[in-house]
Amino acid sequence: MLKGVFSHSLQWSVSVFSRMNWIFCFHFENFILDLNVEKNKSLKNIIALRNLVRFYNRHPDAKASIETWLAITKSAVWQKSSDVVRDFPDADPVKNNRVVFNIAGNKYRLIVQISYVRQWVFIKFIGTHSEYNKVDANTIDQF
């Protein structure tokens, strides 16, 4: 892995997993921009990834499920919500290009907003099922 610092607030790292797969991970003060580039695949950005890491550090039982979600999401090419449901049959599309995912056997909920054109996924909320019941999945912007 290559690492460096552009300034005190911007760090970067590059990992090579194969000849055709590069992972670029830019760490900013409040979020991580994680870019997965594969030959013949679309670019997938997951915005506010750091919040998922913080969450599974507080809730270790969610880590495996979140890492599985990340692995699938990074390499997915989604053009519409039905593509998401194809990859995650328990996912629930809601308004505003948002999707609710069950994490760790529905113990936790993850809400994302997807830009299908840009292939960007924005983390909007992650919490326990009871915390999820108190928010509006269509408008929540926790991060």
- Whole-number Å distance between alpha carbons of 27 and 24: 10
Q: So what's the pLDDT on residue 42?
A: 52
Structural domain containing residue 44: 2-132
pLDDT at site 44: 72
Q: Is residue 141 part of a domain?
A: no
- Span 14-27, mean pLDDT? 43
Number of domains into which the chain is organized: 1
Kindly tell me if the per-residue pLDDT of 56 is higher than 80. Answer: yes
Q: Would you say residue 140 lies in a domain?
A: no
| Average pLDDT for 17-30 | 44
Instruction: Look at residues 40, 38, 35 and name the one whose alpha carbon lies nearest to residue 21.
Output: 38
pTM: 0.71
Q: Is residue 138 part of a domain?
A: no
Identify the DSSP state of 61: G
Rounded CA-CA distance 117/136 in Å is 24
Residue 116 lies in a domain: yes
